[in-house]
Amino acid sequence: MDPFENTEITIHQTQDNDACPPILPIFSIPSEITMLIFSFACHPSPIICQNRRSGIKAEELSHFAREEGQELTISHVCRAWRSISHADPALWSTFHYFSKYDRQHFTARHHAYLERAQSNLLTLWVCFSTAEDVTIILGMLRCTNNSRWRKISLAFDRHYTLGRESEIGWVPQQHSPDADSPHRFNYSNLETLDIGCSRGHGYLLWMNTDIVRMISDVASTPRLVALRMDAAVNIPQPNFGKVCRASLSVLQLHGLGQWNISWDSFLSIFSNFPNITALTISGYVFGRTPTAASAMATEMVVAPNLQYLRISASAQWLWSLRAPRLKHLAINQDWHFPWGNSFVHDTNPPMFPSLELLALVNCPRDLYDDLQCVTSLAHATRTISQLVIVREYREAEPNYVRHSEVMVKASSLLPLWPSSGVSPSHMFYTAPAYGTHDYLNFPRALRVMRWRKRVLGDGWTMRISSDFAQRWKTDAPELWEVAVAEGLIEPALCNERPHPGDADPCWTYEAGFAAC
């Protein structure tokens, strides 16, 4: 008899006797290791949502929520594994909501998790697809002891937003029967609240008074450490004043595009949360009033404990910021650097004396193609040890790049950042498709690479996607060989953006937001 057939028969016999086959090596693994395997298989940590410029899309989270294999079916293989899984409360302390279940199935599953989690604090991952999902989950939150929740992450996928958008028109807010109840739930142990919406339809979130009410309830919890919200501009400002000042350290506010926010509201973030260490502000424009403009030019914003900052949209206030402990600064795509040296000079102290990493994500080309602009930026951040430029190519280099090449040839070719030990890297991820008017001109790309290397010095390489590299090799093999010989390019290992949690330091702290 074949030895594999003999092993298979033995397994079936032992399962029939409800015993564990000792011949299998897996049963010699310590219970602690087995539990880690269970936890890894059953508790992936999805990150929401699509309009956060670098993260897993809400659609991916929606797909995750519909996967059949995410339940603890592994605990039913045999009695040994079942007893191990039931004996570990931590394995049952993370609860995912599956839209495919009916209410009765969901209730039974919910009670089983609560019982097996024992006294552990709970984590909830939900991706809403329908209004009924919202009703079920909020009902569960009301019925469960609110002090049991440690982390709540709610995502509204495109199915929910598109459905609501087709129904909404000009209608009043959804109103729950108990929305006017004076009773407020006490999420006394909640540490993280994450609410996201796909496709930027955040205004649909705030049409649901239950969601707004939960935000108000959570705002006063004494242990809240991380708060992430899309369309946060629609949240009443008084709610922010309720958040415990000493506890909040991570704040991410994502607007709905170019929304205005008052200068006083921005200042209140630092006055209300003096211990904030990680801050993301995207999709906002500060009020263009003369008073606000004058305040931004003269008033200093002090953030003594800020270490990680990601900004996008109009951010002239950056020059008013004083953050002595800031380590990582990421500037996103639609941010504009001031021209010339009128803001910073080489004789001035660096704006952020502790800055280690500067990341420029899809920024305008003049931010690093114009010598005067590069010089100003280098003086402002000359203490950094690593410069990361992340960019998706969507169009060909403009004509003024040629002027930049001539300008740098006429000036000093001394590198700027490398003089302070910077280790730079540059990444192309996509290129225009064949046949489009923006299709990349490879000779011009080679000229641009040479120009940037003159400004940035030796050690500067361009990391490009594998499909773009293949296209270049095929269409312009001679230029490709020249670029490789001059050390200008380095093909990337994959043709996707680095996901949060990868080794790339530009994205590491973004993963920390979701992991809090």
Residue 293 has pLDDT above 70, yes or no: no
Q: Please, what is the Cα angle at 33 between 29 and 34, to 5 degrees?
A: 75
Residue 342 pLDDT grade (very low, low, confident, very high; cuts 50, 70, 90): very low
Helix, strand and coil in the chain, % to nearest 5? 45, 15, 40
End-to-end alpha carbon distance in the chain: 54
Identify the pLDDT of residue 466.
Answer: 65
Residue 487 has pLDDT above 60, yes or no: yes
- Listed by start position, the domains of the chain span 35-248, 354-516
More confident residue, 453 or 182: 453
Residue 363 pLDDT grade (very low, low, confident, very high; cuts 50, 70, 90): low
Asked if residues 365 and 395 have their Cβ atoms less than 8 Å apart, the reply is no
- Per-residue pLDDT tens digits for 62-101: 444 444 434 544 555 566 677 777 778 887 888 777 666 6
CA distance 490 to 468: 11
Q: What is the mean pLDDT of the segment spanning 345-353? A: 65
Residue 299 has pLDDT above 60, yes or no: yes
Residue 205 pLDDT grade (very low, low, confident, very high; cuts 50, 70, 90): low
Strands 278-286 and 308-311: parallel
Identify the pLDDT of residue 231.
Answer: 59
- Per-residue pLDDT tens digits for 419-451: 455 555 544 444 444 444 445 567 766 776 776
Residue 177 has pLDDT above 80, yes or no: no
Query: Of 50-59, 124-133, 286-295, 442-451, which one has max mean pLDDT?
Result: 124-133
For the chain, the C-alpha Rg in angstroms (whole number) is 27
Exposed e or buried b for every residue in 424-446, given b needs 16+ CB within 10 A? Answer: bbbbbbbbeeeeeeeebebeebb
Residue 275 pLDDT grade (very low, low, confident, very high; cuts 50, 70, 90): confident
Residue 393 pLDDT grade (very low, low, confident, very high; cuts 50, 70, 90): very low
Q: What is the mean pLDDT of the segment spanning 446-469? A: 66
Q: Which of 266-270, 339-343, 380-384 comes out lowest in average pLDDT?
A: 339-343
Q: What is the mean pLDDT of the segment spanning 257-268? A: 66
Q: What is the mean pLDDT of the segment spanning 179-203? A: 65
Identify the pLDDT of residue 491.
Answer: 59
3-state class of 272 per DSSP?
helix
- Per-residue pLDDT tens digits for 95-151: 777 666 667 777 777 788 888 888 888 888 877 777 777 777 777 777 767 788 888
Residue 307 has pLDDT above 60, yes or no: yes
Neighbours of 25 (CB within 10 A): 7
Take residue 278 and report the two structure tokens written for it: 């990680």
For 168-188, the three-class secondary structure string (H helix, E strand, C coil) is HCCCCCECCCCCCCCCCCCCC
Cross-strand bridge partners of residue 230: 254
Q: What is the mean pLDDT of the segment spanning 344-366? A: 68
CA distance 379 to 331: 16
Strands 226-230 and 94-96: unpaired
Residue 417 pLDDT grade (very low, low, confident, very high; cuts 50, 70, 90): low
CA distance 507 to 415: 26
Looking at residue 212, the DSSP 8-state letter turns out to be: H
Query: Of 71-75, 346-350, 382-386, 508-512, which one has max mean pLDDT?
Result: 382-386
